Amino acid sequence: MAEMDGHEPIAWDPPADVRERSRLLAAMRQWGFSDDADAVAELNRRAVADPEWFWRAALADLGVEFAVPFERVLDETDGKPFPKWFEGGRINVAELAALRHEHGPHARKTAVIYEGDSGQRRTLTYAELAREVSWFAAHLAALGVRRGDRVVLFMPVVPEAVVAFLAVALIGAISVPTFSGYAPDALATRLQDSEAVLLITADGTTRRGKTVPLKEIADKAVAQAPSVRRVVVVRHLGTDAALVEGRDVAYDELAPDPAPVPAADTEANDPLSIVYTSGTTGRPKGIVHSHGGFAAKTAIDFAYGFDVHADDVVSWITDLGWLVGPMLMVGPLQLGATIVMIEGLPTYPTSSRMWDVVVRNGVTVQGIAPTAARAIKAASDGVVPTMPTLKTFVSTGEAWDAPTWWWLFDVVGARSRPIVNYSGGTEVGGGILVGYPFLPGPAAAFTGPLPGIDAAVFDDDGAAVTGRIGELVLRNTFPGMTHAFWQDRERYLSTYWDRWEGVWVHGDLASVDEAGVWRIHGRSDDTIKLSGRRVGPAEIEAALLRDSRIAEVAVIGVPDELRGQRAVAFAVLRDQHAEPEDIQAVALENAGKSFAPAVHTVRTLPKTKNGKIMRRAIRARFIGAPVGDMSSLDPATPLEDIPVDAGTQE
């Protein structure tokens, strides 16, 4: 299961119109390249070898405008882990994504569409967005927020969230977007760690139609965070949310004509945002992104990776605390596209909700996680509406299982829409690998790194390997990668740079074959060693999901006295009356004797609020070990559904 044969059948064969529309292929022709798969690899080799040429050419092609031109693309004076990008250049993300579109061809075009959990829908044009950003930035300054101050966003994905994110950027302060599902202690931790001076929240949000009292949670968190001086409250639901006199202000009661403030003259490497990721132990990691790096990376990923143009409508079910939220507010908007931000779940209030959003808003590019696709498939009655505008799916978050991928490709996409597989992380500001829509490729695979990225697969000895599963590593740096962790450089170095000199170890298991087809096999710390072979959980999970009675499954490795490790699976069944012994027998048949896990049937699998299965937490509970930071757990998927194996000890 760990070996790759290099001869996978092609699932997506792009038609001529997809290739003709491609922004990357058009740029490559201008730069003197041909437009086949070998040329894409050749482009990347040149981009890695000559970042000075590539990033200047790409930013000019994509319209990433600097108010003051940068002196050079890359400065590694402080060492490879601490590069400076576009040094001397002045750039502000709010100018790029909003203010420059206030006048001109995009002014009256819809920039932001919000789709609520309970059927609400609101929009902002580019001109309205620019005015709102400038207006709110002036109020933030009047409330005492200064350049470099941290401002935490604890909000649903309403239009005011986009305004707030960009307004904070406009005055040179640093946004800290957080998950709208956090409990008070989790929010307090991020307020404390960032030493935030202001919190922006809402009276509440809804999930599955049930109210989540954001203001109440925020009040409890602020009580533990003395650095917070002011709180701005968006009245989203109209629920009773008491304001604390002298501290709280209502967004809708702010004066219509505040004294205007100029856009901050931010340098390319000035911090834009801190996005916290949860760890299994210790405090969360504050990933620092800068104005220049995040602008460049999101432009590359959306334009060259997903082929987003100004006439596109990009939709994604996301949250501010997942990097996709900030990416959506910067990437498509600077390209002049329309974004659709969706509150809630893809299957509520109806199983067709996501497809209804596509039809209602003329969506052309739809982001979807495999977890969401499985949920829609399980809840679907088999009817898929006609979606004439939809051109592309973009998938990220976790590995695909084959039945769900083929359902989305065959049934929903009618084999006429690519599923752009995309994998990276918060720490790199977006993607590392992508399945280019203009290249043919196998199901659920990647056809190369994004431009400018020197990715490889290393074995345990630090040698690059082909056809085998190993560690996904980066042998260079690129714009968008974190500028260390917030106030914790040593932890940043030990997390990514300490294993091999000058090499970033990303933490994913990956493989690449001789044809340049890549796959991600799960997190490397989730690796299972069975019968002397290193296996990612995704391999075994994919085998189990061939049993149509299994809706979802998570596989972990646990200590075994005789074998070192054994595999254990936790399966959510579509048919709760299925015989466990029969499920186990089919698992043995599908996964093979060497890899077949012991199967436990469960009601739910614990997931993060953005839908990722929490395998490390599952393992910790099963073996009775500390579960670590659980602040990102979706309360609708309790860890307590996982059984405890009293006989297993770490």
Cα(198)–Cα(200) distance, rounded to whole angstroms? 7
Is the Cα dihedral 467, 469, 471, 474 positive or negative?
A: positive
Q: How confident is the model at residue 376 (pLDDT cuts 50, 70, 90)?
A: very high
Q: Is residue 533 helix, strand or coil?
A: strand
Q: Is the pLDDT of residue 6 over 70?
A: no
pLDDT for position 531: 58
Cα(587)–Cα(553) distance, rounded to whole angstroms? 11
pLDDT for position 548: 84
Cα(46)–Cα(53) distance, rounded to whole angstroms? 9
Q: Is the pLDDT of residue 309 over 60?
A: yes
* pLDDT digits 0-9 by tens, 448-481: 999 999 999 999 999 999 999 899 999 999 999 9
Cα(589)–Cα(598) distance, rounded to whole angstroms? 13
Q: How confident is the model at residue 211 (pLDDT cuts 50, 70, 90)?
A: very high
pLDDT for position 1: 29
User: Do residues 89 and 71 touch, judged by C-beta distance below 8 A?
Assistant: yes
Q: How confident is the model at residue 199 (pLDDT cuts 50, 70, 90)?
A: very high
pLDDT for position 280: 46
CB atoms within 10 A of CB 378: 14
β pairing state of 564-573 and 598-601: parallel
Q: Is residue 32 helix, strand or coil?
A: coil
Lowest mean pLDDT among 20-24, 116-120, 200-204: 116-120
Q: How confident is the model at residue 563 (pLDDT cuts 50, 70, 90)?
A: low
pLDDT for position 533: 63
The first and second tokens of residue 22, run together, are 């491609």
CB atoms within 10 A of CB 45: 11
Percent helix, strand, coil in the chain (nearest 5)? 30, 25, 45
8-state DSSP, 9: P
Q: Is residue 559 helix, strand or coil?
A: strand
Domains, the chain, in order of start with CATH, read: 527-641 (3.30.300.30)
Q: How confident is the model at residue 68 (pLDDT cuts 50, 70, 90)?
A: very high
pLDDT for position 176: 98
Q: Is residue 90 helix, strand or coil?
A: strand
pLDDT for position 282: 58
pLDDT for position 225: 97
**Mean pLDDT, residues 19-34:** 97
Which H/E stretch holds residue 122?
A: strand 121-125
Q: Is the pLDDT of residue 224 over 50?
A: yes
**H-only helix segments in 205-285:** 214-222
CB atoms within 10 A of CB 611: 21
User: Do residues 536 and 521 touch, judged by C-beta distance below 8 A?
Assistant: yes
Share of the chain above pLDDT 70, in %: 95
Q: How confident is the model at residue 3 (pLDDT cuts 50, 70, 90)?
A: very low
Q: Is the pLDDT of residue 5 over 50?
A: no
Nearest alpha carbon to residue 66 among 325, 270, 329, 307: 270
Share of the chain above pLDDT 90, in %: 73
Cα(376)–Cα(276) distance, rounded to whole angstroms? 29
Q: Is the pLDDT of residue 234 over 60?
A: yes
| Beta carbons within 8 Å of 269's beta carbon, 6+ residues apart | 84, 85, 86, 87, 290, 291, 292, 293, 483
Cα(60)–Cα(358) distance, rounded to whole angstroms? 32
Distances (CA, A) of 415 to 370, 391, 418: 17, 11, 8
Four-CA torsion 226, 229, 235, 237, nearest 10 degrees: -10
The first and second tokens of residue 568, run together, are 């254990």
Q: Is the pLDDT of residue 382 over 80?
A: no
- Beta-bridged to residue 508, according to DSSP, are 523
Q: Is the pLDDT of residue 118 over 90?
A: no
Q: Is residue 384 helix, strand or coil?
A: coil
**Mean pLDDT, residues 297-315:** 98
* pLDDT digits 0-9 by tens, 344-354: 989 999 999 99
User: Do residues 268 and 89 touch, judged by C-beta distance below 8 A?
Assistant: yes
Tell me which amino acid residue 118 is. Answer: S
CA atoms within 13 A on the CB side of 203: 13
Q: How confident is the model at residue 534 (pLDDT cuts 50, 70, 90)?
A: low
Q: Is the pLDDT of residue 606 over 60?
A: yes
Q: How confident is the model at residue 182 (pLDDT cuts 50, 70, 90)?
A: confident
State CA 248 to chain mean position distance.
Answer: 31
- Beta-bridged to residue 316, according to DSSP, are 341
User: Do residues 59 and 73 touch, judged by C-beta distance below 8 A?
Assistant: no
Counting every residue written for the chain, the total comes to 650
Q: Model pTM greater than 0.95?
A: no
User: Do residues 320 and 180 touch, judged by C-beta distance below 8 A?
Assistant: yes
Q: What is the mean pLDDT of the chain?
A: 92
**Mean pLDDT, residues 14-30:** 97
Q: Is residue 78 helix, strand or coil?
A: coil
State CA 31 to chain mean position distance.
Answer: 30
Question: What are the DSSP calls for 298-367, one per residue?
Answer: HHHIIIIIS---TT-EEEEE--TTSTHHHHHHHHHHHTT-EEEEE-S-TTSSSTTHHHHHHHHHT-SEEE
> What angle, rounded to 10 degrees, do the helices at 324-334 and 291-300 form?
80
**Mean pLDDT, residues 490-515:** 94
User: Do residues 99 and 133 touch, judged by C-beta distance below 8 A?
Assistant: yes
